[in-house]
A and B are shown apart, each in its own frame.
Chain A
């Protein structure tokens, strides 16, 4: 553990070394968060309800999805730049050190500037939570605490999947982005507005709906659209575990392909 702490510590110091540039980075990230939320706000100036959700519920959905995604993006978002690591020989350097390669890749960077977006999402979360009509029981309290964590875990696993794919598709960055950023975007809106195939794709292939929409159904006690019954909201940790298992298997296969195929 100490090794990872030292690795991450050095990354953080190098990013905050230039105060002003770091401040602007944070500001830019806040800007992205605000613009994303503005999108939701504008929609609700035109409609009262979107996919069974009112504005307060949609804001909570946005907040859950965004806290999860921005944290995942901060901690593991750089792994989908795998081709650059391959080109620069950094991955070979990882292979020559006595630590797991994926752990080294994840701790090789941490984008603290993304905290700006996390900040915006947390603020929206704090405002939207009391505005919603939630029956507070030990179960729902647990869900509210666990949901952002599992959301982050799901998006992090998607990033690792995206990285693994790029062992084969060296110029596959755009393809991989469709799942990571595409999944994040999909998770910000109620899955009920998508057509059934899309809804199933973003639930059971790319488990974006598990990150925020399904837990929200439980919190607000909503029935859920066709194909997505409410009880699935309780399966969020399971979905995170499954997508992580897929991500790790994919990563291991990718690394084997790399050591087999060479650079």
Chain B
């Protein structure tokens, strides 16, 4: 078996939080942002790293990429110890923080790419071809000469991702890459990332709050809560485990105050004076087809939409299902 591209063992990271207590004294509390985390990532895999705000996602990423030193435990990224071999590691990973820019604010993308090529010492003969591939695939052509500060969020994120991939790293780490993007931009980004994986075998690790990102891009998810791994497996497995519900929203031809009892469902809301009903159902107890059939006997369905379980909801249910001893409050 080949060595995993990321290997984390009993990883722990503490922060010291000082808060005023009285006029002069300050209390010193040690908070563990990451607390005994272990996982491996195989090269070529795509993993979603999920957790509520403050669960320790960003802290983990900073330890994986050489920005933070672990308090205890070990990290190997691309077979390297991140902090000690930071510069070597930087050549092998691409990192994008959705909320923090790594581009030069006042430079157009064309110049930024030229600068990055020089920083990574990419061979002059080959890097423009890589740039052109990224420009074409991410559709950057129309704003390559516009200073980054004048780009829209969607354009900037695409630029950030191109910048992170210019040196063709085998590992791409994305911290909330789709945050704040509109539906179309998100979709375009997902198509691109899936394509890069298929084409170059790029390993993908992404943190996100977006269920669609997880569904479309990853085959495995790791859920963290208070710095601990609470789930590691497939999304389907997670949804089944917590019994998350999908919601069917049906628009009726005539207003109906109540649809009555439909086996395996629960009415979440009745909207537009009875024209729209929202029914929650657990996929393992009934099917959309069975519900539709039952509905057809009671009312005329004009339109319907099925909403997937919200990742926040799944995670919340998972958190609630954890029976653990009380913990210290999160930072």
Contact = CB atoms under 8 A, between A and B. Distances in A.
A89 B69 contact: no
Interface range for A: 20 to 34
Main secondary structure of the interface of A (DSSP, over half): helix
B39 interface: no
Interface string A176-213: 00000000000000000000000000000000000000
Contact of A3 (B101, B107, B111, B119): B119
A14 B147 CA distance: 10
B87 A98 contact: yes
Nearest to B16: A261
Contacts of A93: 100-102
Interface string A83-103: 000001100110111111000
Nearest to B15: A262
Given A14-B107, A92-B100, A99 B68 contact: no
A7 B67 contact: no
Given A96-B95, A97-B90, A6 B15 contact: no
A10 B87 contact: no
Main secondary structure of the interface of B (DSSP, over half): mixed
A251 B107 CA distance: 28
A100 B62 CA distance: 18
A88 B101 CA distance: 9
Contact of B114 (A6, A92, A98, A259): A6
Contacts of B111: 10
B118 A2 contact: yes
B100 A89 contact: yes
Most buried by B among A3, A5, A89, A262: A262
Contact of A96 (B67, B88, B121): B67
B68 A259 contact: yes
Contact of A260 (B69, B102, B107): B69
B27 interface: no
Interface in A93-136: 93, 95-100
Contacts, number: 68
Interface range for B: 20 to 34
A261 B69 CA distance: 8
B48 interface: no
Contacts of B51: none
A10 B68 contact: no
Nearest to B33: A262
B91 A259 contact: no
Given A93-B102, A262-B62, A98 B119 contact: yes
B104 A99 contact: no
Interface in A211-263: 259-262
Interface in A141-194: none
Contacts of B88: 98
A5 B120 CA distance: 13
B119 A97 contact: yes
A99 B119 contact: yes
Interface string B169-196: 0000000000000000000000000000
B119 A10 contact: no
A169 to B, nearest CB: 15
A261 B88 CA distance: 23
Interface in B12-71: 15-16, 59, 62, 65-69
Given A14-B106, A260-B69, A261-B15, 11 more contacts: A3-B121, A5-B118, A6-B114, A6-B118, A93-B102, A96-B95, A98-B90, A99-B119, A259-B66, A262-B59, A262-B68
21 contacts: A2-B121, A3-B119, A3-B121, A5-B118, A6-B114, A6-B118, A6-B119, A7-B115, A7-B118, A14-B107, A89-B97, A95-B66, A95-B90, A96-B95, A96-B102, A98-B87, A98-B88, A99-B87, A100-B87, A259-B66, A261-B15
